[in-house]
Structure 1
């Protein structure tokens, strides 16, 4: 038995996200979609995020361009604008508790996630920062990620998994993963493990040293 929170990064995508939403609706599973700001600026993709929200999923900020981890951005103002531009385009898609997930550059939890100025911005604007503890690399290995994901779930009591609703073919295997997880005793939930949330409503509640560069 284990708890499992699913999240989907880097969408929405017209050829993938509808199928993911259909499957989640059939299974009665609520998740969070951490979306890219420049994608939400496209009306067709925004409609998908609106559907996800209407069906009970949470919508979070995952930067505007997803081009370079914020801790590696050479310009502090650009790093902050990656967040603020996305939040502006999200508008009423955003939750009252502003959810933000940084770009990890391949899912890495290291000092590339933030600059000190970005942490200060998240505090001032009262964001909740959501990290992760499971990355099955579905974008990199779209045919063989399921067993890796299941192994990651079995190693901890509560998994916050990052998947990607991208046109890689990986989401064709999402039904198999959900079946196997349920058979293994997964309890699907929408909230986040406390150890994956270092900032909650602008308050730093877990050590951030390992996640912050010294660029500022």
Structure 2
């Protein structure tokens, strides 16, 4: 038996997000979609559908091109997080969920820079990390086996999947079938140890995720 929270990054994408929403709706599963701002302006209807169906909408930056820890500009927070939050608008969760990206799912100093950290704390954001990356983007046909192994290795898994047109989400239902057979309890909230910032307050050590220049 294990708990499992599903999250989906890098959408919305017309070729993938509807499929994910259909699968989740059939199974009565609610999750969180961490959206990219520049995609959201073109595909807002998908985020609106997700929100209407009980999923939470989180912020995953405006461009998702360069990890914040590798950026040197002083306005990263406003440019990448603030602009996206404005576009999310009334779809946002009250706790203002934000997920950084590190390239390949790494949890290290590439996640944030000082500008982003200051923006998150001043703006009352909740930073949502993860503890399982089955690399569905690089192994679209085989990720489900790895994902199940990651779930079995811990009591509560916060998994990152991607609603992008890689073909990986064709196997989402199969993964959920296997997880159910293994005793998974699906939930929407997040493990506390994956939340270093909660509503603007740093509640867990954060410096390992911040590059300061």
TM-score w.r.t. structure 1 length?
Answer: 0.97
- In the aligned structure 2, how far is the partner of 1:4 from the partner of 1:151? 12
Asked if structure 2 preserves the Cα contact closer than 8 Å seen for 1:52 and 1:58, the reply is yes
| Secondary structure of residue in 1 paired with 2:178 | helix
> 4+ residue stretches of structure 1 with deviation over 3 A?
none
Report the counterpart of residue 23 of structure 1 in structure 2.
23
- In the aligned structure 2, how far is the partner of 1:7 from the partner of 1:160? 7
Structure 1 stretches of 5 or more lacking a match? Answer: none
Kindly report the root-mean-square deviation, in angstroms, between the aligned alpha carbons of the 2 structures.
0.8
1:79, CA displacement in angstroms? 4.5
- In the aligned structure 1, how far is the partner of 2:95 from the partner of 2:61? 16
Asked if structure 2 preserves the Cα contact closer than 8 Å seen for 1:76 and 1:115, the reply is no
Q: Describe the superposition over 1:124-161 as per-residue Cα deviations: whole angstroms up to 9, x where unpaired.
A: 10000000000000001101101110111011100000
- In the aligned structure 2, how far is the partner of 1:92 from the partner of 1:117? 25
Pairing partner for 1:198 from 193, 196, 199: 196
Report the counterpart of residue 41 of structure 2 in structure 1.
41
- In the aligned structure 1, how far is the partner of 2:60 from the partner of 2:74? 17
1:117, CA displacement in angstroms? 2.5
Count of aligned positions: 213
Structure 2 stretches of 5 or more lacking a match? Answer: none
- For residues 118 and 78 of structure 1, do their structure 2 counterparts lie closer, same or farther at Cα, with a shift above 3 Å needed? closer
Matching of residue 100 in structure 1 with residue 98 in structure 2 = yes
Report the counterpart of residue 147 of structure 1 in structure 2.
145
1:69, CA displacement in angstroms? 0.7
Pairing partner for 1:61 from 59, 62, 71: 59
